[in-house]
């Protein structure tokens, strides 16, 4: 038997090890993946996570399980994912914005945006400002003027740390109305906040417009928080159109953004895996059956991509940072 010199054996062994590493990298994933959702079962974040898991799993060749870890406005889930290995087997599939930014700025979350690599903002809400039917005003400008002139008379329903609550503070600040002029009533879910406005328990609400079609006939839509009018709500002005009589403009803050993120080090340590994930997500959303599923279930199905998603997350952070002391 021919014996290789020890040096050659070591070189051969190293080559085999490198080949094995490359093979493992290319084969990823070789076991099931877990999506961590920071909100409870049945909500919009949960439904989005389970929807994309259904169509992404075949693209990656492994099953994907969704685990709910609600708490602290999504902070529990984000902190959990950050503490996991950066091998791509545990990801954050949740309502990412504005909850992550809010928890970083206001509650000293044990992470920053730089700790995460954002894959896609699949479903971005626009916010609807809607009043109870008998509120006695017919426009957003008239409502804001009444809040200014009648401290304590009016109330609004919002979900804590949501885009709706932040937009309340943005409106008050832009019009130089003290936060104490308005009673802010918080609810644990968008459904409860909508019901409060539809039932007349509060004067108005600001929350995700996509889920508000069911109460449209029970409320008075005053504005959409968007840079253009929204299809299906064409008769409702944008917030800055509605505020024109008061000669003010406000920045457009997106509502809840549901999507997928990984640890930032997953992208840098495993670029091949990262690219495989990104390509698989894009391909999964492009499937006609996926688009039909999301459309039927009234779930957004946009492919935005990592770069634009990251830009949106950072822009939202800047807006929330700017208004962090308003209403506090």
CB 204 within 8 A of CB 197: yes
Per cent of the chain over pLDDT 70 is 91
pLDDT in tens, 240-268: 999 999 999 998 887 789 999 999 999 99
Looking at the fold, whether 242 and 290 belong to one and the same domain comes out as no
Residue 115 lies in a domain: yes
Q: How many residues does the chain have?
A: 328
pLDDT at 19: 46
CATH code assigned at 112: 3.40.190.150
Looking at the fold, whether 147 and 82 belong to one and the same domain comes out as no
Looking at the fold, whether 118 and 133 belong to one and the same domain comes out as no
Residue 14 lies in a domain: no
Looking at the fold, whether 213 and 282 belong to one and the same domain comes out as no
End position of a domain, from candidates 246, 266, 294: 246
Residue 1 lies in a domain: no
CB 166 within 8 A of CB 324: no
In the predicted structure, residue 139 carries a pLDDT above the cut 90: yes
- The strand pairing partners of 57, in sequence order, are none
pLDDT in tens, 218-245: 999 999 999 899 989 999 999 999 999 9
pLDDT in tens, 297-319: 989 999 999 999 999 999 999 98
Return the residue matching tokens 């928080």: 225
Instruction: Tell me the average pLDDT across 113-142.
Output: 95
Distance CA 168, CA 296 (A): 31
Would you give the end-to-end CA distance of the chain in angstroms? 81
Averaged pLDDT score across all residues of the chain: 90
CB 54 within 8 A of CB 88: no
pTM of the model as a whole: 0.74
pLDDT in tens, 83-125: 999 999 999 999 999 889 989 998 889 999 999 999 999 998 8
CB 212 within 8 A of CB 128: yes
Largest CA distance in the chain: 98
End position of a domain, from candidates 211, 246, 281: 246
Looking at the fold, whether 146 and 228 belong to one and the same domain comes out as yes
Looking at the fold, whether 133 and 242 belong to one and the same domain comes out as yes
pLDDT at 207: 87
Looking at the fold, whether 141 and 214 belong to one and the same domain comes out as yes
Looking at the fold, whether 241 and 198 belong to one and the same domain comes out as yes
H-assigned helices in 155-215: 163-174, 190-198
Instruction: Tell me the average pLDDT across 200-224.
Output: 91
pLDDT at 166: 86
pLDDT in tens, 168-178: 999 999 999 99
Looking at the fold, whether 286 and 206 belong to one and the same domain comes out as no
In the predicted structure, residue 184 carries a pLDDT above the cut 70: yes
Quote the radius of gyration of the chain (alpha carbons, Å).
23
CA torsion angle for 40, 45, 49, 55 (degrees, to 10)? 130
Q: Phi and psi of 161, rounded to 5°?
A: 65, 10
Per cent of the chain over pLDDT 90 is 72
Q: Comparing 14-23, 120-129, 162-171, 218-227, which segment has the lowest mean pLDDT?
A: 14-23
Looking at the fold, whether 91 and 139 belong to one and the same domain comes out as no
End position of a domain, from candidates 246, 264, 288: 246
Q: Where in the sequence is the domain holding 86, given as residue range(s)?
A: 32-124+256-322
Give the count of domains, the chain: 2
CATH code assigned at 189: 3.40.190.10
């Amino acid at each position: 038997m021919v014996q290789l010199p020890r040096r050659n054996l070591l070189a051969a062994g190293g080559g085999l090890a490198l080949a094995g590493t490359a093979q493992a990298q290319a084969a990823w994933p070789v076991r099931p993946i877990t999506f961590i959702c920071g909100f409870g079962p049945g909500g919009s974040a949960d439904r989005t996570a389970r929807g994309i898991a259904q169509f992404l799993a075949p693209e990656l060749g492994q099953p994907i399980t969704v685990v709910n870890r609600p708490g602290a406005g999504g902070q529990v889930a984000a902190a959990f994912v950050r503490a996991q290995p950066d091998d791509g087997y545990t990801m954050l599939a949740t309502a990412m914005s504005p909850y992550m930014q809010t928890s970083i700025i206001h509650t000293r979350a044990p992470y920053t945006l730089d700790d995460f690599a954002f894959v896609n903002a699949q479903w971005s809400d626009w916010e609807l400002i809607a009043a109870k039917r008998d509120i006695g005003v017919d426009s957003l400008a008239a409502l804001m003027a009444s809040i200014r002139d009648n401290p304590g008379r009016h109330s609004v329903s919002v979900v804590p740390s949501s885009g709706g609550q932040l937009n309340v503070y943005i409106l008050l600040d832009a019009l130089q109305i003290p936060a104490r002029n308005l009673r802010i009533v918080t609810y644990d879910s968008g459904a409860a906040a909508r019901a409060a406005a539809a039932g007349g328990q509060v004067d108005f609400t600001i929350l995700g417009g996509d889920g508000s079609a069911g109460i449209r006939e029970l409320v008075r839509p005053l504005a959409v928080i968007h840079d253009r009018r929204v299809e299906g709500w064409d008769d409702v002005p944008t917030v800055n159109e509605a505020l024109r009589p008061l000669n003010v403009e406000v920045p457009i803050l997106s509502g809840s953004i549901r999507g997928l993120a990984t640890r930032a080090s997953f992208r840098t340590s495993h670029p091949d895996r990262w690219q495989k994930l990104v390509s698989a997500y894009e391909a999964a959303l492009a499937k006609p059956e996926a688009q039909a599923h999301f459309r039927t279930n009234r779930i957004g199905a946009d492919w935005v991509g990592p770069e634009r998603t990251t830009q949106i997350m950072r822009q939202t952070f800047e807006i929330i940072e700017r208004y962090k002391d308003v209403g506090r």
